[in-house]
Amino acid sequence: MGRARQVGKTYLIKDIFAEAYYKDNYIYIDCKIEDEISDFCSTTANAKKNIEYISLLNGKQITDDTLLIGN
């Protein structure tokens, strides 16, 4: 079965769910645009280092309450 394309998945998650429930405590990462993050995460198996890297690039501290959205 194929993946649903162009049906509003990102809009639903980011603009409705994240805004309503997480306000300013979420980070959206578009790996198609943010090559630097994509490259780092694909070569680093350590999840903690990936989180720290994303946090530094976004200038936002990531905690247990932060929602990470990746596309």
Say what the pLDDT of residue 46 is: 93
Is pLDDT of 2 > 80? no
H or E element at residue 42 = helix 35-43
By the 8 A CB rule, do 28 and 16 touch? no
Say what the pLDDT of residue 1 is: 61
Q: Which two tokens stand for residue 58?
A: 């976004």
Say what the pLDDT of residue 61 is: 94
pLDDT tens digits for range 11-54: 888 888 998 999 889 999 888 888 888 889 889 899 999 999 99
By the 8 A CB rule, do 29 and 54 touch? yes
